[in-house]
Amino acid sequence: MSLKETLTAMKQESIATKPPELVGPLLEETDTLVRTGIADKAIKIGEALPEFTLPDVKGSMVSSKELLKNMTDKIKLDILSDVVCPWCIIGYKRLESVILQMGIEDRVEIEWHPFELNPHMPPEGEEIVGHMSGKYGMTRAVSLQNLGNMAQLGEEAGFKLDFFDGMKMVNTRDVHILLDYAKSHGLQTQLKLRLFEAFFSERKDVSDRKVLAGELDAVGLDVEKGLAALKDEGARERIQIQENYWLGMGISSVPTMVLNQSGFLRGAQGIDTYKMVLTGLMNKKEKILM
């Protein structure tokens, strides 16, 4: 993807996802780069670019050179998942191990997007084995066998999936609101992983706001502001809009990973697949930077 195409894609993403007060300055500068053809003429990152600054998603001012370097030097992985999805954490832990093996932690940017496995789950939740039997038409014996298999795969990936007697599937709308809040403070992945662990490894009910308050505090987020977001109808509506967007893109299961805004990878893949995909994306990036 050329720099012009990258800038145009970022423009569209900004309109859809970024706060209104940040969109205006970003669109103005992006339009200038695309209209004048400067983006196409940039042979090296930052070369021949006009000097300007604009706010990033955190409100900090960044230079044009740094903006374009980040846009072209990093692999962007947009991951749709739910914190009560065992395959989501299995897939992520495999992906994480490959990123560490390849030594590209500073070259990969991950953003999490909302997907509710059970958007109509009642507040009291539903016992997990009965839930699986009803939703997927499994017998109790098959459901238990599948849970055991997933626990083994989780262990192999370095994550504890503790499927205990009486465990419940719960509603996760509040979780996704808080992950959106955490994203604005640069702590989205930290909170996401903390919630995965709370639900699957520590037998915590992540639909309980007292539990959520504790997890916000655990990753260094402002508990009062986080809980206030749960009472904000606008924040709740934003999650619904995002979920509808991805459903409209044909995504109906998780985990699903969007690769540099240009392709999808569905399901929890094996380590070899993740390595192949990341290697291919890295090679494409190197060509752009040449």
- Res. 7 pLDDT band, cuts 50 70 90: low
Closest CA to 169 of 128, 115, 202, 141: 128
Give residue 284's pLDDT: 83
* pLDDT one-digit tens code per residue, 62-112: 665 555 555 557 999 999 999 999 999 999 999 999 999 999 999 999 999
CB atoms within 10 A of CB 286: 10
- Res. 113 pLDDT band, cuts 50 70 90: very high
C-alpha angle 153/154/156, rounded to 5°?
A: 65
Give residue 18's pLDDT: 52
Mean pLDDT of 177-195: 98
Residue 10 has pLDDT above 60, yes or no: no
Mean pLDDT of 205-223: 98
Residue 52 has pLDDT above 80, yes or no: no
More confident residue, 48 or 100: 100
Q: What is the 3-state secondary structure (H, E, C) of the chain?
A: CCHHHHHHHHHHHHHHHCCHHHHHHHHHHHHHHHHHCHHHHCCCCCCCCCCCEEECCCCCEEEHHHHHHHHHHCEEEEEEECCCCHHHHHHHHHHHHHHHHHCCHHHEEEEEEECCCCCCCCCCCEEHHHHHHHHHCCCHHHHHHHHHHHHHHHHHHCCCCCCCCCCEECCCHHHHHHHHHHHCCCCHHHHHHHHHHHHHCCCCCCCCHHHHHHHHHHCCCCHHHHHHHHCCHHHHHHHHHHHHHHHHCCCCCCCEEEECCCCEEECCCCHHHHHHHHHHHHHHHHHHHC
Give residue 48's pLDDT: 46
User: What is the percentage of the chain residues whose pLDDT exceeds 70?
Assistant: 73
- Res. 30 pLDDT band, cuts 50 70 90: low
Give residue 43's pLDDT: 35
Q: Return the minimum-mean-pLDDT range out of 16-30, 192-206, 268-282.
A: 16-30
Give residue 63's pLDDT: 67
- Res. 38 pLDDT band, cuts 50 70 90: very low
Q: How far apart are CA 201 and CA 70, in angstroms?
A: 35
Specify burial of residue 5 (Cβ count, 10 A radius: 0-12, 13-18, 19+). middle
Give residue 221's pLDDT: 98
For residue 90, give both structure tokens: 């299995």
Which residues of the chain form CATH 3.40.30.10?
Answer: 75-127+168-259
Give residue 11's pLDDT: 55
Give residue 262's pLDDT: 84
Residue range 75-127+168-259 in CATH 3.40.30.10: yes
Contacts of 167 (CB under 8 A, 6+ apart): 127, 128, 203
How remote is the C-alpha of 123 from its chain's centroid? 25
pTM: 0.76
Contacts of 242 (CB under 8 A, 6+ apart): 17, 113, 114, 180
Q: How far apart are CA 273 and CA 191, in angstroms?
A: 26
Q: Return the minimum-mean-pLDDT range out of 4-8, 38-42, 238-242.
A: 38-42
Residue 290 has pLDDT above 70, yes or no: no
Give residue 185's pLDDT: 97
Give residue 57's pLDDT: 44
Mean pLDDT of 109-132: 97
